[in-house]
Structure 1
Amino acid sequence: MTNLSLAESVKLKSVLAKRIHELEEEMDRVAFVEVEKGRKVPKQVRSLSQVEQEIDEIRKDFRLLDKLMYRANIENEVVFNDEKLAIVEAIELATQLRAKARKCKEFGAAAEEELQYGYGEGVPVIRRAMFDPEEYRLKAVELERQANRLSNAINNKNYSIEVDFDSEKYF
């Protein structure tokens, strides 16, 4: 039995999900046949129960791999800004940093002041930013940089962690 890195297990999980989807489609194909009345039903290469058995085995492996990945993501840490974070927390922080950067980009692209149309009877209405758009643009750049740095730390850590899962039948 060969171990695989946490990074490889992420890829394997995707492979297993795709295979499950393919087997579900195969179930739909083998579950029914159309034949003329009175004609003999053609022999199928695989029966519905054979496909079901294979999908059950892969789903069991998928659950095991998922459990091992969650455990590894909780038990292992990365260091970011002089703070130790469990990988699962670091993944969430990277997601949050990207969300914050996206919002800051929106504010960074805003005009400091712009004329609004369609308000009132000939009375000009101005929409004025209550912040400095350039500060938010720079803040977005920094937040994206931090998110990228954290993602790189997570990826590097994922290659150093071994997961006790036999992947030989899939890779």
Structure 2
Amino acid sequence: MAIFLAEAVKLKSILLKKQRDLQSERHRVAFKTVEKGEQPVREGRTMQDVEHELQLVRDDIRLLDKLVYVANTENTVSFFGEELMLVEAIELAKQMRVEAETLRDFSMRDKEELQHGFGETPMYEVALYDPHEYYVRAEEMEKRAHKLSNAINAKNFQVTVDFDDSRYI
């Protein structure tokens, strides 16, 4: 069975949550509180049941990881005339978002700001750049990051990986 790369990425996050839930369940079924001399009555699933399911989920997480990594290195997107492997494009999109946020922070600063607490002489912090220019750069960087993310998302719905998700869907 094959699923889209986008579904594989989402399924991995679902499986990581399921893994955490199963680890918690294992702790819950491991012990039973009883009065001294009483025999515990087992209710519901056993530790072995939970551990078996946990191992299946862990195996599937590793398999999905491998399939996603391979797909992200074997497939590319075009971005401003350059072919980028998906793994590289994903990292570039992250970097662009961080840079856009930094540029936006600089754009929100005043060109000149009075500083308090320096005695009687007024002191000013003066920006050595044009805040409006940084606003324009932030806007452009955000647009480029969105464009790249859209290309990645589109590719994620074109590429498939061989994984049977019938246990989870």
TM-score (norm 2): 0.98
Cα deviations by residue, 1:119-144 (Å, 9 ceiling, x for unpaired): 1x301111100000000001000000
Report the AA paired with residue 53 of structure 2.
Answer: E
Deviation at 1:116, TM superposition (A): 0.5
Residue aligned with 1:160, SS: coil
Q: Which residue of 2 aligns with 1:117?
A: 116
Alignment equivalent of 2:144, drawn from 132, 142, 146: 146
Deviation at 1:40, TM superposition (A): 2.4
> C-alpha distance in 2, partners of 1:45/1:111?
64
Give every structure 1 segment of 4 or more consecutive aligned residues whose post-TM-superposition deviation is greater than 3 Å.
Answer: none
Q: Which residue of 1 aligns with 2:133?
A: 135
Deviation at 1:15, TM superposition (A): 1.3
Gaps of 5+ in 1: none
Identity of aligned residues (%): 47
> C-alpha distance in 1, partners of 2:21/2:42?
21
Deviation at 1:22, TM superposition (A): 0.9
> C-alpha distance in 2, partners of 1:107/1:19?
41
Q: Which residue of 2 aligns with 1:35?
A: 34
Q: Which residue of 2 aligns with 1:105?
A: 104
> C-alpha distance in 2, partners of 1:99/1:164?
33
Deviation at 1:43, TM superposition (A): 2.0
Q: Which residue of 2 aligns with 1:59?
A: 58
Report the AA paired with residue 113 of structure 2.
Answer: E
Gaps of 5+ in 2: none
> C-alpha distance in 2, partners of 1:167/1:66?
14
1:91 aligns with 2:93: no
